[in-house]
Structure 1
Amino acid sequence: MAERRLSYGAGAPHAVLLLGCFTIAGWAAFFASGQASLWRMGVWFVGSAVAHDWVLFPIYAGVDRLLRRATRADRPDRIAVLNHIRVPALGAALLFLVFLPGILDLRGGTYEAATGQHRVSYAIRWLWVSGALFLLSFVVLAIRRARRR
């Protein structure tokens, strides 16, 4: 009978290093936020993990499956097209998440007090940057295809 090991695959030194990093990160979060905020941070973290795993992942996995079918990515020459759609879409999605309050105008009254500037919606700017990402990606794809020919 083969001996069964409980391991995650990278070895004991790596596991000890990771455990130390998580301990330091947890201590820093606890020290920086205080006990009352620590509960709220934990709820936010668990909520965001659940929202990602149960809502966002099925959505973007489904969209990726549709893109694979639409671009016929089963052929090697079509994989580049799929990746030239994925990369700017990922950039646009990450920018949307980072600037979500500004894009949806969810900022409170503290913005103007803190910056001295009037609130400006980031929606148009986000659309311009996202469009520029897709345009740049398709220009790079066109250059790559022209060089191949």
Structure 2
Amino acid sequence: MGKFWPPLGSPFQLLLLACSFALAGYAGVRLLADDWFQVALWFVGAAVVHDLVLLPLYATADRALVRAAGAAGQRERAAYVRVPAVLSGLLLLVWFPLISGRVADRYESATALSASGFLGRWLLITALLFGGSALLLVVRLRRATKERPPAVH
């Protein structure tokens, strides 16, 4: 197959791969059993919204971030903003109905738990992600300056 195809793994890896395909197939059959048209419509809608709305937004934001980082030596610092932004955005995407409060009544009736606090927790997690990333950047910059030999004049 050449250098483009990875070699087959161990029998355990192949078994795990086969099990994951079987589980995905089972989940797909169960998901499509009730109202397959609505599920298919949701997937197509999600793909269209992602490709036509979200992708241009975050690609533009990432390009602006890299430009703001300036010189080539500073560009790797963009990852210290990218990672917490992606994780925070993913959490927002998954929990948006509860963060926005749109389904608070349904959530409370289904779980008997209060839906309040999701916005505050998401903001706290976002602050911790960005704060931890900033702390990691500071630690790495200090290590780099300590390891760098002094300049000879």
For Structure 1 versus Structure 2, the TM-score category normalised by the shorter chain is 0.7 to 0.9
Q: Per the alignment, in what secondary structure is the counterpart of residue 96 of structure 1?
A: helix
Residue 142 of structure 2 corresponds to 146
Q: Which amino acid aligns with 1:123?
A: L
Task: Find out whether 1:105 has 2:104 as its counterpart.
Answer: no
* Cα offset, 1:36, TM superposition: 3.9
Higher relative contact order (CA 8 A, sep 6+): 1
* Runs of 5+ unmatched residues, structure 1: 1-8
For residue 39 of structure 1, report the CA deviation from its aligned partner.
Answer: 1.4
Q: Quick one: structure 1 residues 100 and 23, their matched pair in 2 at CA, closer, same or farther if it must change by over 3 Å?
A: same
- Opposite residue 136 of structure 1, the aligned amino acid is G
Relative distance call for 1:114 and 1:130 in structure 2 (3 A) is same
Most deviating of 91-100 and 101-110: 101-110
How far apart are the structure 1 equivalents of 2:141 and 2:116?
40
Q: Which residue of 1 is the match for residue 49 of structure 2?
A: 51
Contact 2:104 2:115 in 1 (8 A): no
Normalised to the residue count of structure 1, the TM-score between the two structures is 0.77
The 1:70–1:115 alpha-carbon spacing in structure 2 relative to 1, beyond 3 Å, is: same
Percent of aligned positions that are identical: 35
Question: What is the CA deviation profile of residues 98-123 of structure 1, one whole-angstrom value per residue up to 9, with x for unaligned ones?
Answer: 11111111215332222222221411
Cα drift, residue 26 of structure 1:
4.1
TM-score by length of 2: 0.75
Quote the residue 2:110 is aligned against: 114
- CA deviations over 1:33-74 (Å, ceiling 9, x no partner): 3544221111111111111111100000000110011111x5
CA contact (8 A) 1:95 1:126 kept: yes
Cα deviation for residue 23 of structure 1 reads 7.7
Letter in 1 for 2:60: G
Cα distance in structure 2, aligned partners of 1:144 and 1:135: 14
Alignment partners' CA distance in 2, 1:109 and 1:102: 10
Pairs aligned (count): 135
